Each structure stands twice: as structure tokens, then as C-alpha cells.
Amino acid sequence: MCLLCLHYSIVTARHPPANDRSDACAVTPGDALRETILDVAASGRPAWSVMYGVKVPRLELVPVDVPYGNGRAYISPGESLDRGPRRAVLRDATLLAIETQHPDLVEEANRDPKAEAQLRQLAGAALHDICGLPYFDRGAPCVADALGLGSERAAQRVVSTGRRLWPTLAAWPWWLLNPRGGRLPAKWWTQPRVLETFAVWRSG
């Protein structure tokens, strides 16, 4: 299955409550967040793509507190994530496919079983953590159905591995919250650092 050629066409189940007007609504996992990221990426902001209709913010600047003073400073995740460390984790074919989205390179990645597995894992984490899809649900859209997986356990394994891969790409929100990989904190989308960093990525 060609993941980069697979269109995301299912409606997600998680949405902010209609009466919730908090800032966290802007990044609550669900279809609204997915569409916001697509719109911002279309304007030229950097983003990774592992399947059509789903993109992941690629962090260039992250706001941090200035020690012993007032104001904010910015760090660049890319300065510590050169291609050497990335290649230690990700296949070259995987990187080329998600960096360029060139049809020939995507096809090459899907012919490489390990690269194709990594594309599936990256997509699984994005579908669960950003799009808000459950691992498995017989009566509703879920990660297992979207990626052609047969069980909840298989979907959980794919998502778990994807969460370990995304931080190596300076991808929001994983790089911020769990750079070594693993489950994101409960209600991670309400954390001020997550909101501020998304706003910086969105505005450039």
C-alpha cells in the first residue's frame, strides 16, 4: 500500500466541545487541527507529509525562556538534528519520500519494506495524535482501518514506533513533549509551550 498516495478521507471522531472557546481548541486533536495544519503548510510553512491529507509541522524555531532576564529567545531544533542522526534512525528512502514527495522517490520508498514500514509508523502516530483517531473501532474511522491493520494491538505498535521516529525530524508536538519517544502527556494540547510553539510555526 502506497501511504503517500493514500488520501485521508475519513472524518475524525474527536472535536472540541461547541461551547469550549479556550485557546486549546486551536490544537485539540481532530479534523479541525488537521485542516489547520494543511492550510498553514499550503501557505509555505515547513511540514512533513506521510499521506495525502495529513501533514505534520516541522519546527524551525522554538521559543524558550531567557534565564535571569525578561523576554523570550528561540532555539532551532534542526541545529541538533543534522542528517547524520536522522539517518541512524530513518531509512534514506523514507527521508527522501517525506522531504520531497516526488512520485518516483515515494514509489522507491514503498518498494523498500523497511522504508514502507517507517512511512506507516509515521502516519499512524500522526493519525492518532494529531487527527484524533482511535487505534481500533469497528464502527468508526480508526488508525487500523486507515493503514490496513487487522487489530488494535497492531495499530498500537505502529503508533508507538511512529512516536519514536517523529522527534528525530523536529516534528511538532513530539519533539517538544517526548523527544525520546513514547506516549504524549494527557491533554498535551493544553500545555502553554505546545500552544506557543504551534503559534510560532503558524506565523513564521
Query: Residue 87 — very low, low, confident or very high, per pLDDT cuts 50/70/90?
Result: low
Confidence tier at 64 by pLDDT (50, 70, 90): confident
- The span from the CA of 102 to the CA of 89, in Å, is 21
- CB 30 within 8 Å of CB 8: no
pTM attached to this predicted model? 0.84
* Average pLDDT, rounded, for the chain: 84
The β-bridge partners of 74 are: 63
What value, to the nearest 5°, has the Cα angle with vertex 93 and ends 170 and 116?
90
Per-residue pLDDT tens digits for 154-204: 999 999 999 999 999 999 999 999 888 888 999 999 999 999 999 999 998
Confidence of residue 2 (pLDDT cuts 50, 70, 90): low
Domain ranges of the chain: 37-203
Residues in the chain: 204
pLDDT at 10 over 80: no
What does DSSP assign to residue 58?
Answer: B
| Tens of pLDDT, residues 27-56 | 899 999 999 999 999 999 999 988 889 999
Residue that wins the pLDDT comparison between 2 and 175: 175
pLDDT of residue 89: 84
pLDDT of amino acid 149: 94
Across 60-64, 82-86, 107-111, which has the greatest mean pLDDT?
A: 107-111
- Among candidate residues 128, 178, 35, the one with its CA nearest the CA of residue 120: 128
